[in-house]
Amino acid sequence: MELYCILGIMLVTGILGGIVNFYSDANKQTGSESAARLRSAGVCILFGIAATILVPLFLKFAESKLLDGIRLHDKNSQSEQKSPASIKAKPVAHVMSKSDSLQSKPQIKEPITAKQDQSKSTSEEKNSLASDYLIWTAYCLLAACAGMRFIDLLMSRVISKEYIKQAETTINEQNKEIKDLKKESVIAENNYKVSEPLQLQMASQASVLKSGISTGEQSKMLLSQLPPITHANDPQKGRFGGKNNVNGKTLSVDYDSYIIPGFLNLTIKVSADEGELTSDVYLFLHNSFARSIIHLEGYGKEEVEYKIPSYGAFTIGAILDNGDTLLELDIAELKNFPESFRNR
């Protein structure tokens, strides 16, 4: 289809559709006995032409192939198509057979000429072209008759499609972040399962074992008291009984400001309610710390403490009395801590 013909159809159908829209019931004044119109004829025609201009956008959304047949008028290409030099027709082939007693006349075999092929293809193209023009005229006339309603519908579709596209992009980014976080969480959890016995054995080397048990056996004995990790983001949660006061021993944590904004300097304490501690203390922190298992010499002391800066809340676990006492404290449940810190 030629672009100039398309523009002409859009202009004519826009004017015709605008006149139809002007006289339609949708343009009548409601709630009044007078025959007043909501829009003048000029405004209706203007909306009709504007609606026909938006028809290509509508067909683009509808993924119509009708737009593929539109082309600019090119005189050079047209002249080349019409020139006889560009058409290479095969000559008529005459086949002569040898004369014999059974055949007196020569046989002539006429193959299908290029002109016949060209005439068939030309007729098919004309039929297809006429159909495309009729469909295009129908689209434009329909849009022009609808006028402003067609424009509003198309605008809402453009906006909704852009909104859906942005929403899909956001959802895909969030899904990717969630997938990456899950992957990191699984890797961190598996790494911690491997490193936990080694860290505990290294921490036990500095302790004075009154029972004479080796550090390796001590580590295995302490770890045997702990269930497996069930919270990947907070590995110590639920592993130490969930109580911060057991057998006359108390686990507590306090904080003060830190030099880096957003961080808090935590002071973790394990104390005896009465008398003194009768064993060393092992603190289990979040696996994001470089040292997540801390050994503190507590035998004969009333209280031991450990200070560490942190950016967010986590669960602290403690083992003492050679595994007979397990303490647990979740900082996220402490109301005296800032809410922003507890929610991280």
DSSP calls for 207-240? S--TT---HHHHHHHHHTTSPPP--SSSTTTTSS
* Confidence at residue 80, expressed as pLDDT on a 0 to 100 scale: 47
Residue pair 267/303 in contact by the 8 Å Cβ criterion? no
Q: What is the mean pLDDT of the chain?
A: 75
Q: What is the mean pLDDT of residues 217-242?
A: 81
Confidence band, pLDDT 50/70/90 cuts, at residue 102 = very low
Q: How far apart are CA 287 and CA 284, in angstroms?
A: 9
* Confidence at residue 131, expressed as pLDDT on a 0 to 100 scale: 76
* Confidence at residue 337, expressed as pLDDT on a 0 to 100 scale: 95
CATH architecture, domain defined by 207-342: Sandwich (2.60)
Judged against a pLDDT cut of 90, whether residue 330 lies above it is answered with yes
- Give the residue ranges of DSSP H helices in the chain: 3-23, 41-53, 55-61, 75-82, 114-146, 148-204, 215-223, 339-342
* Confidence at residue 97, expressed as pLDDT on a 0 to 100 scale: 46
Confidence band, pLDDT 50/70/90 cuts, at residue 122 = low
Min mean pLDDT across 26-30, 31-35, 198-202 is at: 31-35
Q: What is the mean pLDDT of residues 91-104?
A: 46
* Confidence at residue 94, expressed as pLDDT on a 0 to 100 scale: 47
Q: What percent of the chain has pLDDT over 70?
A: 66
For the sheet containing 315-320, what is the strand order? Answer: 293-296, 281-284, 315-320, 325-330
Judged against a pLDDT cut of 70, whether residue 130 lies above it is answered with yes
Judged against a pLDDT cut of 80, whether residue 282 lies above it is answered with yes
Question: What does the angle CA 136 – CA 140 – CA 143 come to, to the nearest 5 degrees?
Answer: 140
Q: What is the mean pLDDT of residues 196-219?
A: 58
Q: How far apart are CA 278 and CA 297, in angstroms?
A: 10
Q: What is the mean pLDDT of residues 170-180?
A: 77
Residue pair 318/240 in contact by the 8 Å Cβ criterion? yes
**Amino acid (one-letter) located at 182:** K
Helix (H) or strand (E) holding 254: strand 249-257
Residue pair 113/88 in contact by the 8 Å Cβ criterion? no
Residue pair 289/318 in contact by the 8 Å Cβ criterion? no
Instruction: Considering only the C-alpha atoms of the chain, give the largest distance between any 2 of them, rounded to a whole number of Å.
Output: 139
Judged against a pLDDT cut of 60, whether residue 96 lies above it is answered with no
The length of the chain in residues reads: 344
Judged against a pLDDT cut of 70, whether residue 85 lies above it is answered with no
Burial class (CB in 10 A: 0-12, 13-18, 19+), 133: middle
Q: How far apart are CA 49 and CA 342, in angstroms?
A: 61
Min mean pLDDT across 85-89, 192-196, 253-257 is at: 85-89
CA atoms within 13 A on the CB side of 190: 6
Q: What is the mean pLDDT of residues 248-255?
A: 95
pTM exceeds 0.85 for this model? no
* Confidence at residue 237, expressed as pLDDT on a 0 to 100 scale: 92
Judged against a pLDDT cut of 50, whether residue 98 lies above it is answered with no
Contacts with 273 (C-beta within 8 Å, 6 or more apart), sequence order: 245, 248, 249, 250
Q: What is the mean pLDDT of residues 29-36?
A: 63
* Confidence at residue 146, expressed as pLDDT on a 0 to 100 scale: 77
> What single-letter DSSP state applies at residue 2?
B
Q: What is the mean pLDDT of residues 144-166?
A: 74
How many other CB atoms sit within 10 Å of the CB of residue 102? 5
* Confidence at residue 336, expressed as pLDDT on a 0 to 100 scale: 93
Q: What is the mean pLDDT of residues 40-49?
A: 82
* Confidence at residue 86, expressed as pLDDT on a 0 to 100 scale: 46
Across 29-38, 150-159, 267-276, the highest mean pLDDT is recorded for: 267-276
Min mean pLDDT across 3-7, 279-283, 320-324 is at: 3-7
Can you give the residue ranges of every domain in the chain?
Answer: 207-342
Confidence band, pLDDT 50/70/90 cuts, at residue 221 = low
Residue pair 269/304 in contact by the 8 Å Cβ criterion? yes
Residue pair 332/294 in contact by the 8 Å Cβ criterion? no
Collapsing DSSP to helix, strand or coil, 194 comes out as: helix
